[in-house]
Structure formats: C-alpha cells, structure tokens
C-alpha cells in the first residue's frame, strides 16, 4: 500500500518456490500466470479504506498479460544469445533451451514445507509451483490498480515429487546459482515496463 500511495504503477514480485510440476527443474524461472490463495488470509479483510481501492477488486488478471509478453520475449532473447555463445565456443549447433516457463503459483502460509499429500492435492488444483509469499502482495497491488509481474525461481522439488527430503540449504544454493540469470532478465525487462 505504501508503494501505491507513492504512485508506483508497476510491481515485480519474485520468490523461491518448490516445483509441483515434474517438468520444472531446479533453477527454472516460472512466470506466474495466475495464483491460488491457500494462505487462509486475504490482505483485504477488515475495514476497507477507499483510498487504497475498491472493496471487491477483480482478480481475473492479477498478473498483467502485456508484461508477461515482455518477460517471455526477453527470456527467449537471452536463451538464443546463450545458444549462439555456446555454438561460437564449441563450433557445434546448440539447441535453444528456455530457462523460463509459465505456471500457476499456490501460496501457502508456511513456515513448514508441504506434505506429499498436500502436493498431490495441489497438483489436482492445477498448481505448478508452491511457496509462502507473493499472493498477498499481488492482491494488494491489484486492488490499488498496479500492474503486476510475478516470477518464481524453482529452488527445489516439492515434497513427494522426489524421494529426497527438502532442505532449506538446497533452496539457498539453487537461488544463488540462478541469481545472475534472474538479475539479467530483470535488467532487460524493467526498462520496457510502462
């Protein structure tokens, strides 16, 4: 709400998330196309202050489609540039592998990681990645009329997707490994937002 009051019109939300989709690997960036709020709280509850927006804001397009297209375009360019660089180094044709996917993010309250049964349920709901942030901020920003982008860094596979237990250290290591690519993407996207 402070950002909105100061006149901010665009908000980029980032997070670390666990992959529910078996096709998403650690280090993948997921552009959030929609979210599921299972945090058991809505930031708009309570007495409404009309200065921050209407009481019942539309949430059918929380994440701005035009901004999503900008992110997709820039990620594709980065992937093509990386393939060309590798081809120049090796002399061998390189396939263009995008590090960006689109998906549905589910916000849960945490702080514990999810159980395998919860992850099976979330897959049935259409969830691609799960985390403990982003949803309240996106809801509040949309209430104030901000355009929102959400990008998740897939730092681990969610419980039950693999046999391995989840360790917070793994989340931190993967986040650090992807930080350069993530930062470069944001540097390219931010100047194009209007």
pLDDT of 191 reads: 97
* Category of 53 on φ-ψ map: left (φ > 0), alpha (ψ -120 to 50) or beta: left
Distance between CA atoms of residues 101 and 33, nearest Å: 10
What's the confidence (pLDDT) of residue 148? 98
3-state secondary structure of 193: coil
Q: Which domains does the chain have, with CATH numbers?
A: 2-44+57-81+100-158+167-189 (3.40.50.1580)
Residue 145 and residue 53 in contact, taking contact as beta carbons nearer than 8 Å: yes
**3-state helix vs strand vs coil in the chain, percent to 5:** 40, 25, 35
pLDDT in tens, the chain (194 residues): 767 777 889 999 999 999 999 999 999 999 999 999 999 999 999 998 888 888 899 999 999 999 999 999 999 999 999 989 888 999 988 777 789 999 999 999 999 999 999 999 999 999 999 999 999 999 999 999 999 999 999 999 999 998 888 889 989 999 999 999 999 999 999 999 98
The reported pLDDT for the residue numbered 2 is 67
pLDDT at res. 97? 78
């Amino acid at each position: 709400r402070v950002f909105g009051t100061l006149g901010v019109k665009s908000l980029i939300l980032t997070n670390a998330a666990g992959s529910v989709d078996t096709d998403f690997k650690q280090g993948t960036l997921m552009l959030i196309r929609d979210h599921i709020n299972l945090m058991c709280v809505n930031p708009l509850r309570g007495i409404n202050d009309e200065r921050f927006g209407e009481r019942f804001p539309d949430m059918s397009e929380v994440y701005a489609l035009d901004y999503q297209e900008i992110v997709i375009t820039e990620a594709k360019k980065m992937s093509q540039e990386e393939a060309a660089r590798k081809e120049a180094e090796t002399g061998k044709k390189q396939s263009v592998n995008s590090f960006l996917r689109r998906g549905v993010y589910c916000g849960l309250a945490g702080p514990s990681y999810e159980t395998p049964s919860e992850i099976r349920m979330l897959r049935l709901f259409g969830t691609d990645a799960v985390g403990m942030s982003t949803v309240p901020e996106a809801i509040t920003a949309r209430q104030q009329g901000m355009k929102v982008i959400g990008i998740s860094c897939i730092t681990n596979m969610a419980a039950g997707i693999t046999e391995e237990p989840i360790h917070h250290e793994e989340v931190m290591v993967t986040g650090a490994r992807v930080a350069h690519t993530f930062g470069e993407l944001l540097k390219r996207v931010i100047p194009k937002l209007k």
